[in-house]
Amino acid sequence: MAKVKPPRHIVWSTDTLDLSDPFQRHWYIRQVLLHGRAEDIRKLDLDEVEQLLDSLDLPEDIARLWRAFFKARHGVAR
């Protein structure tokens, strides 16, 4: 993946991100989950989000929401 120009409501500290850089990609995914709109989240690779979820250091309520989403996505009962 190349450099992208992220929306200002997600990233306001820089004009471009290099999503081929693992650090920047990880940080961007966290920003999208915290500040993104539905259309921003739709653009994420949900398999990647699921894989990174525990390392994203999200607030507990947001992390819990995503864990529940992935359980439902895989058809796992509560």
In 1-78, the DSSP E strands lie at 3-4, 17-18
Q: For 33-47, what is each residue's pLDDT tens digit?
A: 999 999 999 999 999
Question: Average pLDDT, whole number, for the chain?
Answer: 92
Rounded to two decimals, what is the model's pTM? Answer: 0.86
CA angle 48-21-59, nearest 5°? Answer: 50
Bridge partners of 4, per DSSP, are 17
Q: Quick one: how far is CA 13 from the chain centroid?
A: 17
The 10s digit of each residue's pLDDT in 59-68 is 999 999 999 9
CA distance 14 to 57: 21
Q: State yes or no: pLDDT of 6 exceeds 90.
A: no
Q: How far apart are CA 75 and CA 4, in angstroms?
A: 34
